[in-house]
Structure 1
Amino acid sequence: MNLLKTVMNEPQIQIYEFDEFRVDAAKRLLTKGDGEQIPLTPKVFDTLLYLIRHGGKVIEKDELMREIWTDSVVEENNLNQNISILRRVFGEKPGEQRFIVTIAGHGYRFVPEVRPILNLGFGIADVKPEEMISENETEKTDNQITNGEGRKTENKSSIQNPKSKIQNREWLAAFAVLSIFALGASGFYLWRGNEKSVDAPIKTVAVLPFKPLVVENRNEALEFGIADTLITKLSGGEEIVVRSLSAVRRYNSLEQDSLTAGRELGVESILDGTIQNWGDRIRISVKLLRTSDGKQLWAGQFDEKFTDIFVVQDSISEKVAAALKIRLGNRAKKHSTENIEAYQLYMKGRYLIAKGTPPDLRASIPYFQQAIEIEPNYAPAYTGLAQANGVLGISGDVPASEAIPKSKAAAQRAIEIDDTLAEAHVATCMGLFWYDWEWRAADNHCRRALELDPNSADSHQAYAQVLSNTGRHAEALAEVKRARELNPLDLAINALEGQYLLHAGLPDEALAQLQKTSELEPNFWLPHLFAASAYIEKGMFREAIAESRKEYELSGRNDIPFGTYALAKLGRRDEARAALQELIKLSATKYVPPYNIALLYNALEMRDNALEWLEKGYERRDPKMTFLKVEPKWNNLRNEPRFVDLMRRMKFE
């Protein structure tokens, strides 16, 4: 048994502090501020003490009533009255729940950080979280709470008080150990290690979406927005790898265990937090944990006006950096806007982009536009506008000629305002690559993005696409591998690695990678699309048709040609022609990439028609034309003069 732990858990801890209040369990007193005594009935005091000693945990109503009224059976209303009295004592307004949170259908949770005060009879010592040493781990925190007036006080951490007993000789041994620490000091203080140090340098961290303390008031855009801002502030240097928002967005469930998320993400540390927003105020509680053993490296609570959220985010990033012993880059000190309304609109747009579906991407655009109207020099809002339009144009959900010029203009404006935004350079790279077919300029912007943020998985992935489609396969595979290392669970990165392997002439390796991707998420459609293409190259047309059907079932897209291509190659030409005619008919009412129609004509060995539709693709700036150089399904046309001329005009040759 850890003797120090035993001492800590015994009932000599009788004084607790939280916010501006102090509870003396022995004297059964609640005081406020400079010592003002607040009278409580015995059962109300018992209720408060039980909540404090189980701070941070959800306590069922039945448990509370059983513990408070041990000798009698009472109605739930008695407990409700006690909670109501405590809320009035704490000065809570209706619906505020700053101290006691109601968990619907369950009970209550006491949310302030509590600091227990240890009294051994010859002095009093503050017991901080890092001093509550358990048998399996030591928790160290370097925590400050910022109150509503901007003043900083020490963190107050919650504690449980087990009812375990200790043998007399263990008490003596513990007393001796503690006495040794007391010698040589003017007062008694428990031993504590270097609060900001960790056992070994931590090189990876993930910031999870924040969780609400009160579910009924949930604001997912704010939860994602705070995580997104902290990710941006902590990123940008080579000292630590920070998982991107796309990597962590799946971990927004209220039941999500942070350590499990950290292990799945392959990071050494995890930053997890909760938020509570009421009126014009916000309370943020955050903790930094080591993934391997759950050791708390730092924790903090911030209670501020919502308009001071920028200061809170700065403080959190600085303290996390200190705990991890890293230096923050220049981006951590930047505020692209001081306008809270513009920032909130931007967060809503970013949240929708993170969801990634075409309807969400479309819905994000007005939020970015409104943010820009309020703050015309808000560079990240221009970047968000560029990203949303760019993805819609590249995917074919909106004609490229309509969406990508808007994306390019927004990205250019973002760079004019702030040349250090890596995301703006990536968006510019994508416009130059998919629409302008300016390979060298696209390459330059992707490399600039990587200079600004070398640990951005999205930047490595974007550059891999440029390299792959221009035939630089070894470099492309190196870049996508790095992207996957930085964001191992990103489904698109994993699937695109399969595509790059295929275009590098490695169909078997591509299929193996695509199978791994499907194992990560069986309902993700993209690996089935690329697998259908890979099976075509292996002459396994039935398998290609099966994969294409899976892709259609999962995506609902009916404009992707590989299943029909395989039908043609299998000799089922009538079916292939019928499918081709349906696609042409569809193109009259919905945007269909001309490249896709050309590919099917080529499968049916109708060269003139294929070349005619490739010309339409060139005229309409179809982004899929960028695959002409590396897609093996065009190999039969590579000596055709019109195809050679097209390749020259696209600057491939």
Structure 2
Amino acid sequence: LLLRGGEPIALTAKAFDLLVTLVLQSGHLVSKDDLLRTVWPDTVVEEVNLTVNISVLRKALNRGCGETALIQTVPTRGYRFVVPVKPREAAVALELEGPSHGLRMQFPGQERRDPVRSVSENADAYRAYLQGRNDWNQRSEEALKRAIENFQRAVYIDPHLAAAYSGLADCYAALGYLSYIAPTEAFTAASRYATKARDLDAALAEPHASLGLVKLYFEWDWLGADAEFQCAIALDPDYAAARQWYSIYLLAAGRATEALRQIQLARQREPLSLPINADLGFHQYYAGRYDEAVKQLQFVLEMNPKFPPAHLWLGRTFQELGKFDEALAEFRQVEEVLHEWPVSVAARGFVAAAAGRTYEAEEILAELERLGRRKFVTSYGVALVYAGLGQHDAAFAVLNKAFDERSHWLVWLRLDPRWNTLRHDPRFMELERRMQFPQ
């Protein structure tokens, strides 16, 4: 963890590893080859990865340091950390002296203080906050709107309650990633409230995790999302949602092994959480371990037979197993709880098309068009139905609208098996390029 004045500076794992390597050799030249071997062991990477991470470090370190260059480039050879450092005891391993204005590095595994918890002394504000978190955990549109009302009541009573602003950020992020409202409306509000929470309490993990979701799902800022999630985990290693959401980022970024580890760590912290357990099934689905996904999602439904995300991902899994009737039955279970939810309607349309039920799939396209006249319908879902019907030109036309919407579903473009029939089309390759997925 890198701190300035007690406040964390967000860095990706590789940027932090690079900083550690340079700081431990402070005053000495470290060659490019040595840096690549140390920071990316047993991996062949291009030198541009080193250049990009040096740039990230300079931006983070020089903020607040004027024009002082902390990392010196030695042309064609390597880099040197030019600021003297001194070892410290307890939580802080190294303190950078001189013009760095109180930069401190804290290494994992060392004893450190507990994160400051932003809890109101006002009992009414705290009760409203807890009611909001309870509603947020249910994830339905109605429950999220109730949660927003509770969090707003909490900040009305106590305007300095950072945790409640973070709750508002999480509600709007959920409204966005569940496609209840348009991404621009949802994630812009989430960013605003998370920033407010962070400004009120820099040591609170929750707003950093919320900003990680915004950067992943809306801004498509892969490095920025990684940094925010890691900052949240460093501030509070036991905050299960940060690990849950970081696992989603890692999966979308192509780091499946790390992703599985993070969702397992999240479950260790909240073993009975429905969203976390459902996301474990979601990970198994995207990894192609369909039998394991079925077992995990059925386990979730034993805990709560009406939890929509578990039915949704179980339907998606049955679909990949060729069990179309079972898949359609799961999507109908979703719609019994979330009436006219465009995500499950579109999923049902794709399965109908894949099963050769062309008329049914076309009827579902008409249903989505009608829904779109009175609520937000993600273009990503509509494009999937066209793809299932083999109408590829129409699918690409609507997928381009999904880009205009900043649809968060696009982060799954290269993993979603429903696009397999389009994957080798140059137009699809261009869409993947536009997402600038990490390599």
TM-score (norm 2): 0.69
Q: Which runs of 5 or more residues in structure 2 are unaligned?
A: 1-110
Residues 1:632 and 2:417 aligned together:
yes
Q: CA deviation at 1:414?
A: 1.5
Which of 312, 318, 336 does residue 553 from structure 1 map onto? 336
Q: Who is 2:321 aligned against?
A: 538
Q: Distance in 2 between matches of 1:346 and 1:515?
A: 31
Q: Aligned pair in 2 of structure 1 residues 543, 374: CA closer, same or farther (>3 Å)?
A: closer
Q: Distance in 2 between matches of 1:527 and 1:348?
A: 24
Which of 404, 409, 422 does residue 192 from structure 2 map onto? 409
Q: Aligned pair in 2 of structure 1 residues 431, 516: CA closer, same or farther (>3 Å)?
A: same
Residues 1:608 and 2:396 aligned together:
no
After alignment, is 410-419 or 353-362 more displaced? 353-362
Q: Who is 2:172 aligned against?
A: 389
Q: CA deviation at 1:350?
A: 3.8
- Which structure has the higher relative contact order (CA within 8 Å, separation 6+)? 2
Q: Distance in 2 between matches of 1:419 and 1:451?
A: 12
Residues 1:480 and 2:263 aligned together:
yes
Q: Distance in 2 between matches of 1:402 and 1:479?
A: 29
SS across alignment from 2:414: coil
Q: Aligned pair in 2 of structure 1 residues 376, 519: CA closer, same or farther (>3 Å)?
A: closer
User: Matches of residues 52-71 of structure 1 in structure 2 within 5 Å?
Assistant: none
Q: Who is 2:218 aligned against?
A: 435
Q: Who is 1:646 aligned against?
A: 431
Paired residue type of 1:420: A
Residues 1:399 and 2:182 aligned together:
yes
User: Matches of residues 240-255 of structure 1 in structure 2 within 5 Å?
Assistant: none
Q: Aligned pair in 2 of structure 1 residues 569, 354: CA closer, same or farther (>3 Å)?
A: closer
1:143-186 deviations in Å (ceiling 9; x for gaps): xxxxxxxxxxxxxxxxxxxxxxxxxxxxxxxxxxxxxxxxxxxx
User: Matches of residues 132-151 of structure 1 in structure 2 within 5 Å?
Assistant: none
Higher helix share: 2
1:101-134 deviations in Å (ceiling 9; x for gaps): xxxxxxxxxxxxxxxxxxxxxxxxxxxxxxxxxx
Q: CA deviation at 1:427?
A: 0.7
Q: CA deviation at 1:635?
A: 1.9
Are the aligned partners of 1:421 and 1:452 in contact in 2 as well (CA < 8 Å)? yes
Q: Who is 2:280 aligned against?
A: 497
Q: Distance in 2 between matches of 1:576 and 1:380?
A: 44
CA RMSD of aligned residues (A): 2.4
Q: What percentage of aligned pairs have identical amino acids?
A: 35
Q: Distance in 2 between matches of 1:557 and 1:484?
A: 31
Q: Who is 2:60 aligned against?
A: none
Q: Who is 2:233 aligned against?
A: 450
SS across alignment from 1:436: coil
Q: Distance in 2 between matches of 1:441 and 1:527?
A: 29
Q: Aligned pair in 2 of structure 1 residues 360, 517: CA closer, same or farther (>3 Å)?
A: closer
Q: Who is 1:420 aligned against?
A: 203
Q: CA deviation at 1:594?
A: 0.9
Q: Who is 1:618 aligned against?
A: 403
Are the aligned partners of 1:480 and 1:497 in contact in 2 as well (CA < 8 Å)? yes
Q: CA deviation at 1:539?
A: 2.2
Q: CA deviation at 1:373?
A: 5.1
Paired residue type of 1:576: A
Higher strand share: 1
1:192-238 deviations in Å (ceiling 9; x for gaps): xxxxxxxxxxxxxxxxxxxxxxxxxxxxxxxxxxxxxxxxxxxxxxx
Residues 1:509 and 2:299 aligned together:
no
Q: CA deviation at 1:615?
A: 0.9
Q: Who is 2:48 aligned against?
A: none
Q: CA deviation at 1:607?
A: 0.8
SS across alignment from 2:317: helix
Q: Distance in 2 between matches of 1:375 and 1:543?
A: 49
Paired residue type of 1:647: E
Q: Who is 2:361 aligned against?
A: 576
Q: Distance in 2 between matches of 1:387 and 1:549?
A: 27
Q: CA deviation at 1:442?
A: 0.8
Q: Who is 1:459 aligned against?
A: 242
Q: CA deviation at 1:348?
A: 4.7
Are the aligned partners of 2:198 and 2:208 in contact in 1 as well (CA < 8 Å)? yes
Are the aligned partners of 2:140 and 2:338 in contact in 1 as well (CA < 8 Å)? no
Q: Aligned pair in 2 of structure 1 residues 356, 633: CA closer, same or farther (>3 Å)?
A: closer
Q: Distance in 1 between matches of 2:120 and 2:304?
A: 38
Q: Aligned pair in 2 of structure 1 residues 345, 518: CA closer, same or farther (>3 Å)?
A: closer
Q: CA deviation at 1:341?
A: 6.0
After alignment, is 368-377 or 431-440 more displaced? 368-377
Q: Distance in 1 between matches of 2:205 and 2:141?
A: 24
Q: Aligned pair in 2 of structure 1 residues 368, 402: CA closer, same or farther (>3 Å)?
A: same
Q: Aligned pair in 2 of structure 1 residues 471, 330: CA closer, same or farther (>3 Å)?
A: closer
Are the aligned partners of 1:470 and 1:630 in contact in 2 as well (CA < 8 Å)? no
Q: Who is 1:89 aligned against?
A: none
Paired residue type of 2:265: R
Q: Distance in 2 between matches of 1:367 and 1:512?
A: 36
User: Matches of residues 3-402 of structure 1 in structure 2 within 5 Å?
Assistant: 329-331=113-115, 337=120, 342-343=125-126, 345-372=128-155, 375-402=158-185
SS across alignment from 1:636: coil
Q: Who is 2:351 aligned against?
A: 566
Q: CA deviation at 1:401?
A: 1.1
Which of 355, 368, 379 does residue 594 from structure 1 map onto? 379
Are the aligned partners of 1:353 and 1:360 in contact in 2 as well (CA < 8 Å)? yes
Q: CA deviation at 1:399?
A: 1.5
TM-score (norm 1): 0.47
Paired residue type of 1:397: Y
Q: Distance in 2 between matches of 1:536 and 1:360?
A: 29
Q: Aligned pair in 2 of structure 1 residues 455, 546: CA closer, same or farther (>3 Å)?
A: same
Q: Who is 2:80 aligned against?
A: none
SS across alignment from 2:237: coil
Q: Distance in 1 between matches of 2:128 and 2:311?
A: 36
Q: Distance in 2 between matches of 1:340 and 1:542?
A: 51
Q: Distance in 1 between matches of 2:249 and 2:134?
A: 27
Are the aligned partners of 1:390 and 1:404 in contact in 2 as well (CA < 8 Å)? yes
Are the aligned partners of 1:471 and 1:629 in contact in 2 as well (CA < 8 Å)? no
Are the aligned partners of 1:544 and 1:562 in contact in 2 as well (CA < 8 Å)? no
Q: Who is 1:92 aligned against?
A: none
Q: CA deviation at 1:407?
A: 0.6
Q: Aligned pair in 2 of structure 1 residues 583, 418: CA closer, same or farther (>3 Å)?
A: same
Q: Distance in 1 between matches of 2:258 and 2:196?
A: 30
Q: CA deviation at 1:423?
A: 0.9
Paired residue type of 2:364: A
